[in-house]
Structure 1
Amino acid sequence: MKWERVLRPRAYLPGPAGPAPPAPSPAPARQPALPRTLASGSSTRARTPRRAPTMAKRSSLFIRIVEGKNLPAKDITGSSDPYCIVKVDNQPIIRTATVWKSLCPFWGEEYQVHLLPTFHSVAFYVMDEDALSRDDVIGKVCLTRDTLATHPKGFSGWAHLTEVDPDEEVQGEIHLRLEVVQGTRACRLRCSVLEARDLAPKDRNGASDPFVRVRYKGQTQETSIVKKSRYPRWNETFEFELEEGVAEALCVEAWDWDLVSRNDFLGKVVFNVQRLRAAQQEEGWFRLQPDQSKSLREEGNLGTLQLEVRLRDEMVLPSGCYQPLVQLLCREVKLGTQSPGQLILLIEETTSTECRQDVATTLLKLFLGQGLAKDFLDLLFQLELGRTSEANTLFRSNSLASKSMESFLKVAGMRYLHGVLGPIIDRVFEEKKYVELDPSKAVQNVGNMDTPASRAKEAWMEPLQPTVRQGVAQLKDFITKLVDIQEKEELDLQRALSLQAPLVKEGPLFIHRTRGKGPLMSSSFKKLHFSLTTEALSFAKTPSSKKSTLIKLAHIRAAEKVEEKSFGSSHVMQVIYTDDAGRSQTAYLQCKCVNELNQWLSALRKVSINNTGLLGSYHPGVFRGDKWSCCHQRDKTDLGCDKTRSRVTLQEWNDPLDHDLEAQLIYRHLLGVEATLREKHRQLSAGPEAGPVLTGPGGAPEDPLAQLLQVLQDLREAHRSSPADSPPLEPSRVLELQT
């Protein structure tokens, strides 16, 4: 998956980690600035050193896969067994559950993915699962980053599935050096094809046999073929004679060589030669583009897919910039209803109904990080009680109090629900039981804890009422005991938990014991139970067995995928770490599916994001025999041929808080209602009860609302003056040939 582009592959150096997740990945060594881009697949220019603190761009995708309609039948039974694969830049990150024997499947699955801001597209593939043969591709929906950027509130609706064209399934980048050389008689165009990375796997072994074809003015030259590699290196140079006034384009195409069938297209880059004449030279990594010369086909009868996809880009300032805003809000919460400004009440009054849940969740996370969640909720409850005259409507409106409490219960109760319901839900999926969960029936009645209200709504529920009423009494007794814990018991519990490192993730994995040195055999893998805490990655024979430490958390240098051909599986990851002697080691772990693989990678990246010496590059293959299987380099210590992706993670309910991001989200919301806040301040200042404007030390106003407006102005100026951590995205340019 191409999450970002970097110039000159040999310049990778390990760098320091960034702030809390999602943090920026280690930056490669800086390079001199190169000429402007001349190709339709643009390269990325290197960055120059900056002294001022920089903003970090945080990109995330919220994805909800709702349902499909009118899918074609792929099985002889006249039905299909559909599931969805979500790919970001052709890299699988999510697989939904399979809906058996249905042409109108419902999934209703939600995900949030943190990724690099340079991603290009997200694609949804609808597949038909087959037990005996390879799964069939039904169709796909592809949304580009530019398309998502034009929908600030997200894309939501039905999209037609389109046929998957192999010539459009391209990925990866190619490293080229282009020069215009002035000869004694004429100019010559010199094209050096250096290497490529992350090419699409076109062969059954999970690799390709790539070569490059360079075309100019009817002339074609080709590189040698590199067998079984998605990271080939050629270092071959071709020359063409340039003619004045000829508006021909230079086309560089990557192909997969096949002995029996036709060669497979891997992607291309097209250059404007006239622009190249002006620039004289160009070097960099260029993203391979699909073949768009074919006429667009009409949409077939492949059905539709209902999706919700929302892109969020945030430019986050350094922590110190948000301290005045955070301190001002915290002071208001600590003062409670005694505060004359009541900024929290003003925020609620200026928040629209449609975004109140998002604002409530963001505020709750911000105060959780400051240890003021209880004070924040207490203040909201007092405000709610003060303006509510009817008890039956208390906490039932779309208020900031009800939405904040809902968010708090999700955070506080999620671990409890995972512990209680997790094993039951796992058993339902493992045994493929059919169950129906409907909160509008018995469970909701018990939750009301009121005998008259828990009367049966359906006739068939009547015989269960005695049990329901008994359950109400038991639930009341349970809650009473739960909230009546003595202070000593709470301290004992906290002391016991503090002695154990928090568990981040656990589960069974297969470890490859030969570390890539020996042949691939079933005996090479051993199933163990792994546990990841904030201190180490450990393993045991069973969940209850004594654990042995495999990798200390501080020693992790990278956690990345392994290409399929290395072990014959696309679900293998590698954890690169240093042992106690400082030597580099690699552990290869196999997961059962793509979801489990990405969950483990995400967890490992989050807990190690602040480690020193994180790698900027890695080898997607293994060092077997005398060379790397990915790039065929024979030096085991050779720098990696692909970039690490430490910023690509999945959002989980137990993720650590990102304080700077929450503060930025609050600032962005307040900026949107700044005009209303200023009008409110003007009215209060001009009112009959308005007194003289009080100022504190240094002339700063003591009025909280005036302070808030000043803080917003300061943050606006900070955003204007702070450079971005990463270069802005360059839009893809379509080459216009002159006729």
Structure 2
Amino acid sequence: MAKRSSLSIRIVEGKNLPAKDITGSSDPYCIVKVDNEPIIRTATVWKTLCPFWGEEYQVHLPPTFHAVAFYVMDEDALSRDDVIGKVCLTRDTLAAHPKGFSGWAHLTEVDPDEEVQGEIHLRLEVVPGPRARRLRCSVLEARDLAPKDRNGASDPFVRVRYNGQTQETSIVKKSCYPRWNETFEFELEEGATEPLCVAAWDWDLVSRNDFLGKVIFNVQRLWATQQEEGWFRLQPDQSKSRRGEGSLGSLQLEVRLRDETVLPSGCYQPLVRLLCCEVKLGTQGPGQLIPLIEETTSTECRQDVATNLLKLFLGQGLAKDFLDLLFQLELGRTSEANTLFRSNSLASKSMESFLKVAGMRYLHGVLGPIIDRVFEEKKYVELDPSKVEVKDVGCSGLHRPQTEAEVLEQSAQTLRTHLGALLSALSRSVRACPAVVRATFRQLFRRVRERFPSAQHENVPFIAVTSFLCLRFFSPAIMAPKLFHLRERHADARTSRTLLLLAKAVQNVGNMDTPASRAKEAWMEPLQPTVRQGVAQLKDFITKLVDIEEKEELDLQRALSLQAPPVKEGPLFIHRTKGKGHLMSSFKKLHFSLTTEALSFAKTPSSKKSALVKLANIRAAEKVEEKSFGSSHVMQVIYEDDAGTPQTVYLQCKCVNELNQWLSALRKVSINNPGLLGSYHPGVFRGDKWSCCHQKDKSDLGCDKTRSRVTLQEWNDPLDHDLEAQLIYRHLLGVEAALREKHRELSAATGAGSVRTGPGEASEDPLAQLLQVLQDLQEAHSSSPAGSRPSGPNRPLALQT
């Protein structure tokens, strides 16, 4: 049994941001921090005060996190990026919105005294004294303090204040992980109500000291316990008045916290077996459950339900059968061929999820080179005469302004080139298409042809395939390549227009160049020869795609399984510490590949790879302090070599997103390794001590806790069968009342009995069985150990300020 928390985050857009550049504009991007640790960076949207991002992320993290903050920044090429403002959502705020927080939030000013992080280790005791009892406060150590100095560290000391008296610890230079082991005593007066304040500060020689956080204790509670020791989270100073809300602009967000207690696998087997049985029987069986799930699922959560079901059946090897059942159900209620799969039905949403889960690598292979070329060329492209801006085009080869007709012709030629290249790449990709995707499209093609067999509907089976492949997969990826991981940045306005026109052309090809699609935008006419040729190419491609034999498909699937794709790959800089100083030139650029067996490297992507770390030997993957190498994007992989000796390799990434993606991938593939570390050193051992905590023992256990559970969800993640089953159970529990009402209606119509007639006697009615399974799972959750949020035995003593 495990408690899991996840944050679904969608950063939509900003508005009315203040201008930070001399041009009267800004170049905004967002940084997302969970408990002050950067997890996500959006792309920059250039020269705007109303940016649109539309970026979605899912973060898995321990249930002990406190807050998620969204910082809006202005990117500067020559100086440090400016902070525009932030939105902070506490865990309690998110928990109060079960369906998620959604809407506009005003940006607030970023006050350095509120930007605190880390924890402090204290021991508090009430001890006898010569005249009265005394309060003894031992300041032991702190971890993960905010770096306030340019060197990426702080010079922390602690100030303890009680009853008008103040005492201070010594200063620990250049450390965010200081150890003091100093004790202070204060005289206690019985009945006194003044709290004890323990505040951490960063000492500065020239300027004022920087505030690092504080903890306030109720001394009266300490009288009862006499002694307490533990780690306490540092709190910000929120006594200052804030700048008026709204003056810094607003941010539109969608954030949902999901806490799940995942039971042992055996608890979910009845639910999984019941759903799988329904899918295997298809329309030949009772056929109640899948249609009922669709009927009782609201539009707003249909995508989540479709994704969860799809992943569950993928894990059971029944994805094709599940989608086939949905195809038959939709075909059964569709009378007009031109409306087929045009609604946001469970079939449409499930196919969208299926293509993203099973076909994303295929999409990258076909579409990636074309998208890269569009971004690199940055050509002005426009077909709509009403939108042509000749002044934006530049001069022709004769150094004269181009005419509108020349612009339109040149634009058409550019689009014809891109469209032709895309269709050619698609035509050559039959064998590259994943076997399970090919099998699903073949089944869809056959079902539609059986439903609409007449000659007038000859193109309907092809359009059914292209409605998903082109309209719901390729076209959205062309319009927003950043959201499909094809590019790291959003397109600028010129490139975005080119992509939009190319996506429209692909949609026209996908619609089989029908008169209705041509009539919408007559100015697309210059592309018609390429579109018509593309229709023929696409039909030939689909014919080959769905013509594969079952045996050939199995052989292809086995061949592909022998060549398991890497979990993560890309260029990184490798470094091994030597000497006392950090040398940026000592980083060496290599191409790394992470598989389910090892982390390997090579000089180039095509070179022979050498294993660096065996997967089974990884003990932790964590970030490294910025001061260690002069970069905030360095990670360390702690592992054991073949002799069992602990080793560490340091790898530098180019940005915070790449850093967290690599950390996430490494943590996922090694999560079940024996001997995972609970603590680590975020610094390096240089000379004779650790740079983080200054300890001289190289084998010291570590001054910070590892974060092995903090991961980002990605399209190529391994399936988590128990979690998917739990999420499906959670959804069905939410619509249980509707399911029971439906069962009563069916029982009244057929004269069937109740859900369970006696001890151990299960009804053969699938819906009745489902209701009983839900009841059993509810009882299993009720009898599981209470999953209150871990807070430590010391939490009641500290007052939250």
Measured against the shorter chain, the TM-score band is 0.7 to 0.9
CA apart distance, 1:732: 12
Name the SS of the counterpart of 2:750 in structure 1.
coil
Q: How does 1:237-248 map to 2 (within 5 A)?
A: 237-248=183-194
CA apart distance, 1:454: 4.2
- Contact 1:515-1:587 at 8 Å conserved across structures: no
CA separation of 1:444 and 1:621: change in aligned 2, threshold 3 A: same
Distance 1:737 1:411 in 2: 46
Distance 2:698 2:793 in 1: 38
Give aligned-pair identity as a percent: 91
CA apart distance, 1:306: 1.6
CA apart distance, 1:284: 0.5
Aligned to 2:776: 714
- 276-285 or 147-156, larger mean C-alpha shift: 147-156
- Contact 2:141-2:178 at 8 Å conserved across structures: yes
CA apart distance, 1:300: 6.2
2:168 aligns with one of 208, 213, 222: 222
Pick 1 or 2: higher relative contact order, CA cutoff 8 A, min separation 6: 1
Distance 1:697 1:253 in 2: 62
- Contact 1:57-1:726 at 8 Å conserved across structures: no
Name the SS of the counterpart of 2:757 in structure 1.
coil
Distance 2:620 2:380 in 1: 41
* Count of residue correspondences: 684
Aligned to 1:187: 133
Distance 1:487 1:675 in 2: 43
CA apart distance, 1:648: 0.6
- Contact 2:596-2:615 at 8 Å conserved across structures: yes
Name the SS of the counterpart of 1:598 in structure 2.
helix
CA separation of 1:207 and 1:726: change in aligned 2, threshold 3 A: farther
- Contact 2:235-2:800 at 8 Å conserved across structures: no
- Contact 2:2-2:261 at 8 Å conserved across structures: yes
CA separation of 1:429 and 1:178: change in aligned 2, threshold 3 A: farther
CA separation of 1:313 and 1:737: change in aligned 2, threshold 3 A: closer
Name the SS of the counterpart of 1:574 in structure 2.
strand
- Contact 1:350-1:676 at 8 Å conserved across structures: yes
CA separation of 1:512 and 1:693: change in aligned 2, threshold 3 A: closer
Aligned to 1:394: 340
CA apart distance, 1:301: 2.1
CA separation of 1:607 and 1:671: change in aligned 2, threshold 3 A: same
Distance 1:593 1:156 in 2: 28
* Cα offsets for 1:595-633 (capped at 9, x unmatched): 111111111111111111111111000000001011111
CA separation of 1:70 and 1:626: change in aligned 2, threshold 3 A: same
CA separation of 1:438 and 1:134: change in aligned 2, threshold 3 A: farther
Distance 2:552 2:797 in 1: 71
1:573 aligns with one of 621, 625, 635: 635
CA apart distance, 1:410: 2.4
1:213 aligns with one of 159, 163, 167: 159
* Cα offsets for 1:559-608 (capped at 9, x unmatched): 00000000010000000011111111000000011111111111111111
CA separation of 1:369 and 1:596: change in aligned 2, threshold 3 A: same
Distance 1:509 1:737 in 2: 44
CA apart distance, 1:518: 5.7
* Cα offsets for 1:666-724 (capped at 9, x unmatched): 11111122222223323333335548999899533322222212111111110011115
Distance 1:432 1:213 in 2: 58
CA separation of 1:533 and 1:715: change in aligned 2, threshold 3 A: same
- Contact 1:247-1:737 at 8 Å conserved across structures: no
CA separation of 1:233 and 1:438: change in aligned 2, threshold 3 A: farther
- Contact 1:694-1:702 at 8 Å conserved across structures: no
Name the SS of the counterpart of 1:695 in structure 2.
strand
* Cα offsets for 1:381-428 (capped at 9, x unmatched): 222233333333332333322222222222232221122223444566
Distance 1:434 1:565 in 2: 44
Name the SS of the counterpart of 2:287 in structure 1.
coil
1:233 aligns with one of 179, 186, 190: 179
Distance 1:603 1:336 in 2: 37
Distance 1:161 1:650 in 2: 25
Name the SS of the counterpart of 2:795 in structure 1.
coil
- Contact 2:582-2:628 at 8 Å conserved across structures: no
Q: Which ranges of structure 2 fall in alignment gaps of 5 or more residues?
A: 386-502
Name the SS of the counterpart of 2:519 in structure 1.
coil
CA apart distance, 1:351: 2.0
CA apart distance, 1:530: 0.7
CA separation of 1:385 and 1:736: change in aligned 2, threshold 3 A: closer
- 392-401 or 429-438, larger mean C-alpha shift: 429-438
User: Under a length normalisation based on structure 1, what TM-score does the superposition of the two structures give?
Assistant: 0.88
CA apart distance, 1:290: 0.5
- 504-513 or 345-354, larger mean C-alpha shift: 345-354
Name the SS of the counterpart of 1:603 in structure 2.
helix
CA separation of 1:504 and 1:377: change in aligned 2, threshold 3 A: same
- 95-104 or 336-345, larger mean C-alpha shift: 336-345
2:381 aligns with one of 415, 429, 435: 435
- 422-431 or 103-112, larger mean C-alpha shift: 422-431
Distance 2:776 2:40 in 1: 41
- 551-560 or 356-365, larger mean C-alpha shift: 356-365
Distance 1:690 1:256 in 2: 73
- 611-620 or 298-307, larger mean C-alpha shift: 298-307
CA apart distance, 1:356: 2.1
Asked if residue 90 in structure 1 is aligned to residue 153 in structure 2, the reply is: no
- 192-201 or 331-340, larger mean C-alpha shift: 331-340
- Contact 1:534-1:553 at 8 Å conserved across structures: yes
- Contact 1:155-1:308 at 8 Å conserved across structures: yes
CA separation of 1:641 and 1:249: change in aligned 2, threshold 3 A: same
CA apart distance, 1:147: 1.1
CA separation of 1:325 and 1:495: change in aligned 2, threshold 3 A: closer
CA separation of 1:557 and 1:373: change in aligned 2, threshold 3 A: same
CA separation of 1:542 and 1:432: change in aligned 2, threshold 3 A: farther
Name the SS of the counterpart of 2:538 in structure 1.
helix
Aligned to 1:45: none
More helix, by proportion:
2
Distance 2:11 2:636 in 1: 29
CA RMSD of aligned residues (A): 2.8
- Contact 1:68-1:304 at 8 Å conserved across structures: yes
Name the SS of the counterpart of 1:595 in structure 2.
helix
CA separation of 1:471 and 1:429: change in aligned 2, threshold 3 A: closer
Distance 1:506 1:670 in 2: 38
Distance 1:294 1:153 in 2: 33
- Contact 1:501-1:535 at 8 Å conserved across structures: no
* Cα offsets for 1:527-569 (capped at 9, x unmatched): 1111111111111111111111111111111100000000010
- Contact 1:56-1:725 at 8 Å conserved across structures: no
Name the SS of the counterpart of 1:690 in structure 2.
coil
- 215-224 or 97-106, larger mean C-alpha shift: 97-106
Distance 1:317 1:693 in 2: 24
CA apart distance, 1:492: 4.2
* Cα offsets for 1:408-452 (capped at 9, x unmatched): 222232221122223444566677778899997322111111443
Distance 1:691 1:285 in 2: 57
CA separation of 1:153 and 1:738: change in aligned 2, threshold 3 A: closer
- 180-189 or 440-449, larger mean C-alpha shift: 440-449
CA separation of 1:98 and 1:162: change in aligned 2, threshold 3 A: same
CA separation of 1:155 and 1:382: change in aligned 2, threshold 3 A: same
- Contact 2:74-2:81 at 8 Å conserved across structures: yes
Name the SS of the counterpart of 1:719 in structure 2.
helix
* Cα offsets for 1:298-338 (capped at 9, x unmatched): 23622222222121111211111101111111112112223
- Contact 1:513-1:526 at 8 Å conserved across structures: no
- Contact 2:282-2:325 at 8 Å conserved across structures: yes
- 401-410 or 260-269, larger mean C-alpha shift: 401-410
Aligned to 2:572: 509
Name the SS of the counterpart of 1:455 in structure 2.
helix
CA separation of 1:81 and 1:223: change in aligned 2, threshold 3 A: same
- Contact 1:141-1:159 at 8 Å conserved across structures: yes
CA apart distance, 1:352: 2.3
Name the SS of the counterpart of 2:570 in structure 1.
strand
Aligned to 1:277: 223
Distance 1:609 1:292 in 2: 38
Distance 1:136 1:177 in 2: 40
- Contact 1:515-1:586 at 8 Å conserved across structures: no
- Contact 2:513-2:531 at 8 Å conserved across structures: no
* Cα offsets for 1:150-185 (capped at 9, x unmatched): 122222222211111000000000000000002242
CA separation of 1:209 and 1:640: change in aligned 2, threshold 3 A: same
- Contact 2:577-2:686 at 8 Å conserved across structures: no
Distance 1:433 1:134 in 2: 31
2:713 aligns with one of 640, 646, 651: 651
CA apart distance, 1:650: 0.8
